[in-house]
Amino acid sequence: MLLFGVGVIAYLQQRGITVASVQIMPQLGISQMHIGWLEEAFIVGYALMQFPGGVLGQRLGARRTFVLIGVVAFACALALPLAPLVASGVVLFAILLLSQLLLGLAQGPIFPVSTGVFQVWFPARRWAFVVGLQTVGLHVAEIVAPPLTATLMVALGWQWALILLTLPALPLILWWGWYGRNTPAEHPAVSSAELAELGANLSARVDSSISWPRIAVLLRNRDVLALTVSYFFLNYVYYLIANWCFLYLVQQRHFGVLDSGWLAAIVPVGGAIGAGLGGYLADGLAVRYGVRTGMRVVPLLALPAAGVLLLITEGAANPYLAVAALCVCFALIELTEGPYWGAVMHIAGADSMAASGLFNTGGNAGGIVATPIIAWLSGQQAWTACFLIGAACAAASALFWLPVDPARRLARAA
């Protein structure tokens, strides 16, 4: 529940700026491309801290890591709405860029470290499912953020809207610091029967002494690298829908700001359903047909279908049909989240925090590449090109799943 909440707060901190940009741009005198660079600064910081963040999580433990990064992210999220009170012009934009970069660095370790927590606290037959459940939390934030931000923005202005969205992070950080533990054995509420159930899962022990030779093994592992490249292509599609849906509805489909806020909230509903269902299906298929087949079936079917739906979205004459197609497309994309992360956990074992950090670096590199492309093309009103590139990326993402064998365990090094 706590890590579900961490995901919700993190995405509220991230997503508010996209909706608020409707007021930010005219009030601060910046362009849509400037908003793209702010998004880019966040993604760069987020991507850079994935692998180091996973290693940091293994070294420090999840309890201390989440408190540390939570406090830094809270301060950086508040800096965005407060900076215009003390600066303007070039200096203001520099502060905004720096705050977004630091926010990305702070949030980077969240999901690699969460992966290690899930691996310790749950049996292997539930790994993809619990990752999917945390991803549902991200989509809860995406569902809530557009209408909530738009409503607060219309009533109070964009600065108060962003401040109120990030304030709930503070009690959550304090709660985690008091209640959270690195392992079930450290928690007084965990029974001996529960420990016995998890005791058979020897590979679920996070190794806090991760060494440079083992990091080198991770960097050379063909399955992790194939998943990393696949996730790179997937995340062009993810960022296109998650970050730019609101502006697409305003600019290309000509809905009003409030209407776009509510319609943009529908799309993550599909993502939330897909994330929960995809993890459940992957675990069930893995139990029935083996890890190799079970983790691969969903992405190999869902990713090409998502590419087709991107083409349908942009080609639809009826704007409401386009919203429906985009919603189903996002559901198919998010069906793959549980299989991706579950596959990494099966491959990497005790080094899952570091391995998932490496894998998610590739995913966010996709976002780094995608953001300026989408920002520039959309600024030219070339939304069709954005969606054509997305369809090609979905197909490429599926192709890189073909050589992956999640049952092939990571080689150990001294």
Q: Tens of pLDDT along 110-127?
A: 989 998 899 888 888 888
Q: How many CB atoms lie within 10 A of CB 176?
A: 18
pLDDT at residue 414 is higher than 50: no
Whether residue 204 has pLDDT greater than 60: no
CA atoms within 13 A on the CB side of 294: 25
Q: For the CA atoms of 184, 189, 195, 198, what is the dihedral angle to 10 degrees? A: -50
Q: Where are the alpha helices (DSSP H) in 122-168?
A: 127-156, 158-166
| C-alpha distances out from residue 112 to 125, 252, 268, 411, Å | 19, 36, 22, 20
Query: 239 and 370 in contact (C-beta within 8 Å)?
Result: yes
Is the CB of residue 86 less than 8 Å from the CB of residue 73? no
Mean pLDDT for the chain overall? 87
CA distance 359 to 51: 8
The phi-psi region of residue 126 (left if phi > 0; otherwise alpha if psi is between -120 and 50; otherwise beta) is alpha
The answer to whether residues 319 and 381 touch, using CB atoms and an 8 Å cutoff, is no
At 267 the pLDDT is 83
Is residue 328 classed as helix, strand or coil in its secondary structure? helix
Q: How confident is the model at residue 281 (pLDDT cuts 50, 70, 90)?
A: very high
Q: Which two tokens stand for residue 149?
A: 């931000």
Instruction: Match 């590419």 to its residue by tokens.
Output: 307
Residue 177 predicted with pLDDT over 80 = yes
* Res 264 pLDDT > 80: no
pLDDT class for 200, splitting at 50, 70, 90? low
Label residue 411 by pLDDT band (50, 70, 90): low
Nearest to 162 by CA among 17, 318, 287: 17
Of residues 351 and 292, more confidence is placed in 292
DSSP 350: G
pLDDT surpassing 80 at residue 261? no
Mean pLDDT of all residues in 77-90? 89
From the DSSP assignment, how many helices (H) and strands (E) are in the chain?
Answer: 18, 0
- Enumerate the H helices of 201-336 as residue ranges: 212-220, 222-251, 257-289, 291-315, 319-335
Q: In the prediction, which pLDDT does 244 show? A: 85
CATH number 1.20.1250.20 is the correct assignment for the domain at 2-175+209-399 = yes
Residue 202 is given by DSSP the state: G
pLDDT at 360 over 60: yes
Pairwise CA distance, residues 211 & 383, whole Å: 46
pLDDT tier at 413, thresholds 50, 70, 90: very low
Closest CA to 316 of 235, 249, 247: 249
Amino acid identity, position 319? P
Residue 327 predicted with pLDDT over 50 = yes
Rounded to whole angstroms, the Cα distance separating 340 from 321 reads 29
pLDDT band for 203, please (50, 70, 90 cuts).
very low
Q: Above pLDDT 90, what percent of the chain?
A: 38
Kindly report the number of other CB atoms within 10 A of residue 103's CB atom.
Answer: 27
Q: Do 260 and 323 meet the contact criterion of CB atoms below 8 Å apart?
A: no
At 234, the pLDDT band (50, 70, 90 cuts) reads very high
- Mean pLDDT of the region 66-92: 91
Q: Is 300 in contact with 343 (CB distance < 8 Å)? A: no
- CA proximity to 381, closest of 253, 257, 259, 233: 253
Percent above pLDDT 70 for the chain: 96
Confidence band of 207 (pLDDT split at 50, 70, 90): low
Looking at residue 208, what is its pLDDT? 59
